[in-house]
Structure 1
Amino acid sequence: MDCYIYYKTAAVHEAQVIAAVALLQNKLFTTLGLKMRLQRRPEITDDCLTWMEVYRDIPADFHGQLAPLLHANPLQALLQGERHAEYFEDAQLCV
């Protein structure tokens, strides 16, 4: 299963967001062995950037393991609104 988490931050905080997510990426890799990708929309809307964290092949208890790492991360203070998580699994294709 894969997890996609999106959120918004003020555009002026772009460098801080990247630094905070780099800390999160490092912590995820060292504690859970997970890698993640960070993407953002190319356009700025209402002075905000929209970010997407992409996690592949997550463990069943991923959300519970991620929560304490986020709580200790400076990213939380930069958010404009909520983080939204969506989960997807591979579909079985009939050919």
Structure 2
Amino acid sequence: MDETRIAEERIDRLAAFAREMARGGEPERAREAVRLARRIAERHRCGVPRRFERFTCDDCDAYLLPGRTARVRLQEGSHVVVRCDCGATARYPYGE
């Protein structure tokens, strides 16, 4: 198996683990999984999946759950605004 493919599989597993830990009420374990996944992606020069990237905070590495650890709003002009509990804000386009 190719090293990059192994790294991508591990990142996917860590993303699923972080999601489950965040949903289960263990934000610190989710944060550690997010950090590890990002380190693996940097080391192997492969990116993290878009869904994983958009559901994690760049500032505090928290896994973002709408309504629990993040506030999600739709902005006129076709943007999604995600605000983490730490205060960091991310904006993503949606639609056409």
Same-fold call, TM > 0.5?
Answer: no
TM-score when normalising by structure 1:
0.31
Whose strand fraction is larger, Structure 1's or Structure 2's? 1
Whose helix fraction is larger, Structure 1's or Structure 2's? 2
Relative contact order, higher structure (CA 8 A, sep 6+): 1
TM-score when normalising by structure 2:
0.31
